[in-house]
Chains A and B, each alone.
Chain A
Amino acid sequence: MDSFTESGALIMNKSKLILICLFFLLLIMILPFSNKAAQNIFLVKDFCNWSNSFLPAVQFYTSDYKLNSNFSAELIYNKNTISPYQQDSIFKDLAIYKSGNKFIGLTDLSYPPLKIGPKDEIEFTKNTIYCFLIENGIFINPIEFLKPVISTSVSIVNVYYLNEEDVAVAFRANYKNNIIPILIYAYSTYLSGRFAFTSNVYKIEIFLDDEIIYERKLDIVSKKKIVELLLTSSRPQFIKYIISNVADGEHILRVRVYDFNNNFKEIQKKFTVKSY
């Protein structure tokens, strides 16, 4: 009798346990398709290969190897590569200037002047140079700082489908300098986006059927934010947009990228959501 009661209690507990498990399983299955989640963009997975990562040092182009400065500064650090064995530096030739409480790093200066005055002409050995900015010990995005002295443009090219057989819609843009790479990855119930900033991309907006679903602007970079930037913009990544609430059928996804002069390029792509 005792044993019967005990085993009965055990049966009851087991069934309760199974019910609870089923409930949670159902919840887990439902949650990803809920409308609440559909409004958000989630960082899903990092597919970084680091080949085109966002640099705290901005790469930009000078015309005629020259640049008119808009700041006054004093040279405090200068390092040139002497030996071909000196392969252990990100920048081969680097000069750092102190301007107030800012440190301005510039690469490939012909003859780094000891002092720079506003509107002084700075000469470079290359027309592709790097600039970075450290203010009060933290990296600042130098785009705003360089805005008055450089001009640039932004573009997206070579959109093509990726892995069309497995997914409803997928496309990606190849990129070179000045061009943003975009990979939008869509499953039947998920729409994911992958992008990385190049130096001249200042802002990115993603629209789904004219409704803005993602916006990102580069701004001040603190140490914490560097980690975030490395995770969210420097590494090519997947951004998951749950589209379970998007009706079956054709939709238009627009990706718009801006440079810091508000020039923008837009790319539109039709995609189809299919329910299986």
Chain B
Amino acid sequence: MDYWLVSKNKEKLGRSMLRKFIAFILFLVILVVFFLNAPRIVNSADLKILAQIENEKLNLFDKKFQLNSIIYWNRINKVTKVSSNYNFYDIFAENSIFYNGKDFLLSKEQNQFFVIDKKTEGKKYLADAEIALTSKDSNLFALVKKNGLEISFFQFVPLENRAIEIKKEVFSCFWTDYKITKNSFYFSLMNGNCYIFNPFELISSESVIKDSPFIYSISANSSSNNFIIISGFEPQKIYLLNKDGNILYQSQLNENYTSVFSYLLDNQMLIIKNPSSLLLYKIYWNKEKKLELLNNINIKGEILDLVEFYSYFVFICSDTKDFQLAVYDYESKRFYKKNLREPIYQIEMIDSNGVFAVYNQDKLWILSLNQEL
């Protein structure tokens, strides 16, 4: 009888031990799965460097790779044209600063701005101004006078090899951020207003966002007429707005930052970058307008440049000390990064299949995303 009781107790003990063991294993599995899926940035060692150019010296790491397009390497005081046969040609002017547009370059010589057609390399005087606002995806650009308030809007006409002034505007305040898309100009002003100008519809408007005395960032894309701002301090909010400046949706950010920027991608993804982290959202513009947080990673610094591919977006992030090249893969829904030994500032798409160039004033690297990440 006793033996039977003891053996039954042992059996019970064994079962409970087994249960505990299974629970522990399950816990470990859950832990591993959690860690694997946790939103974090993973080192990407497989981002392949195809070529490196230092001044005019070429180092071809992948001999199979052929450059089939022209790279306009903006080196600030000159632009080096790298052609498909790796021939180098400098577009240069003394005491000049260059700005890169879609089909054109702008050179600032003293206070005079010249427009240069990328195809014909024809150069024409445009206007006197202090700074230029360009976008490498657009033929729209703006020139700003020294006072920072008087802005002239231009459109580059590639076939006619000239830029036409579309409009002049005097802003009531300085701007904190701007975005030039293929069809519109967007400015966030320090007094809480947004200025939007679409030269193709000849529509311009200055919208006042209620209860938002200060706007940090404005973002828009070429595939939508809506735009996004980050506004206010304590609380800081994201606003989704239509082209008339009407608020479609608003959401409060968990923390307030003195420096925060937003980027609206063409596939309706929204990046919010504060000094310590990056938040990636999916935007739903349809009936139920909302923001869905997809990822939140710790990456220091500011986004210096960004380029979009079909399956990825790639960006350079820096806090002045460290420079990182980061990739977000839409399929795996993961971020990958590569720490860089040297500073890089700009990205240029070479091939829509995932080949791109990154550069500073002295060096240019050609990289490929077609590798297993």
Contacts and interface: CB of A to CB of B under 8 A. Distances in A.
B318 A82 contact: yes
The number of chain B residues touching the other chain, given as a range, is 35 or more
B144 interface: yes
Given A53-B147, A78-B258, A88-B133, A226 B190 contact: no
Contacts of B282: none
A227 B149 CA distance: 10
Interface stretch (B169-177, B220-228, B246-254): B169-177
The number of chain A residues touching the other chain, given as a range, is 35 or more
Looking at A50, A95, A103, the one whose CB has the most chain B CB atoms below 10 A away is A50
Contacts of A193: none
A96 B190 contact: yes
Contact of B174 (A51, A54, A86, A132): A132
A139 interface: yes
A50 B173 contact: no
Given A85-B345, A90-B174, A138 B191 contact: yes
A83 B304 contact: yes
A96 B74 CA distance: 31
B131 interface: yes
B132 interface: yes
Interface in A40-92: 49-57, 75-80, 82-90
Interface in A128-150: 132, 134, 137-139
A37 interface: no
B190 to A, nearest CB: 6
A105 B174 contact: yes
Interface of A: 49-57, 75-80, 82-90, 95-96, 98, 103, 105, 112, 132, 134, 137-139, 223, 226-227, 230, 234
Given A89-B131, A103-B213, 16 more contacts: A50-B145, A50-B150, A51-B111, A51-B128, A51-B146, A56-B148, A76-B258, A77-B176, A77-B214, A77-B259, A82-B318, A86-B304, A132-B174, A134-B173, A138-B173, A234-B147
Closest 4 CB pairs of A and B: A223-B172, A90-B148, A137-B191, A83-B345
